Amino acid sequence: MNTILDTIIASKQKEVNALKSRTTLVQLEKEIAGVPNKTRSLYASLNDGSKTGIIAEFKRRSPSKGWFTSPDLEISNVVRAYDDVGASAISVLTDQTYFGGSADDLIKTKAIVQVPVLRKDFMIDAIQIAESKAMGADVILLIAACLTPAQVRTLATYAAALGLEIILELHDESELNHICDETTIIGINNRDLKTFAVDIDRSLKMAEMLPKGVIKIAESGISSIENIRLFAKNGFKGFLIGENFMKSLDPAKAFTSFVESLKSV
């Protein structure tokens, strides 16, 4: 039986094929070279003690929960608040079919904010990475659950050559062999991408198994100040949070209130 992730990756392969019918890797590389775009460093931002460590996510919907907000919600006010109030970075879902996102959402975000911007999508081919750079992304996500260790190494090496930073997302111990020299930022997803069930203890159990010196990010299912304090106590410097804000009628206000509470602790 196919999982949700299997279905998404099959759809993503069709998108990649369609992208290759419109352009080539060489053409995208020429486009990138013609518009210098210095990468904003997520690694540096997460090491900046004056910031919250929160990677605030703009996500319109999810496969398991449907629409969090109106499909027509204007992204500008939300990501501007994320940036102004203290996000260390901003994550933008660009998958349209399952998450309601778009390349336009990322392009708008990069033009508005000053912090690093992560393109959150399902990367399976180098042409998507070149496309991400052309969009203006500073960081891309590589998900171990849908890539082999060799694919991670190849895609991470290519991303680094383009000046992009990489978050390698892991979920369980069987994926530790996906870590390579280019993956110095590791995200541990509390959500199982095959079932979408959330286990908040996932990151804590995995953290002790990671190589020394990597930046650790806790992803998904984070909904309280207590969660962040617990992760920080266990050496995490990043906290990817999206649903907790996006399910609110006013995501910008929800994020502002959350950060105010975090700073008051």
Q: Given the residues 169, 175, 182, 243, select the one marked as catalytic.
A: 169
Q: Given the residues 189, 190, 203, 227, select the one marked as catalytic.
A: 189
- Record the tokens describing residue 27, joined without a space: 């053409």
Q: Given the residues 131, 175, 182, 219, select the one marked as catalytic.
A: 219
189 has catalytic annotation: yes
User: Residue holding tokens 């209130």?
Assistant: 257
- In angstroms, rounded to a whole number, what is the distance separating the alpha carbons of residues 199 and 219? 11
> Which is nearest to 167 in space by CA: 129, 140, 147, 136?
140
> Which is nearest to 110 in space by CA: 165, 60, 37, 53?
37
Q: Given the residues 57, 131, 175, 182, select the one marked as catalytic.
A: 57
57 has catalytic annotation: yes
DSSP assignment of 115-160 equals S-EEEES---SHHHHHHHHHHT-SEEEEEGGGS-HHHHHHHHHHHH
194 has catalytic annotation: no
219 has catalytic annotation: yes
Q: Given the residues 220, 227, 237, 244, select the one marked as catalytic.
A: 220
Q: Given the residues 12, 108, 110, 120, select the one marked as catalytic.
A: 120
> Residue type at 172?
D
59 has catalytic annotation: yes
Give the residue numbers marked as catalytic. Answer: 57, 59, 120, 169, 189, 219-220
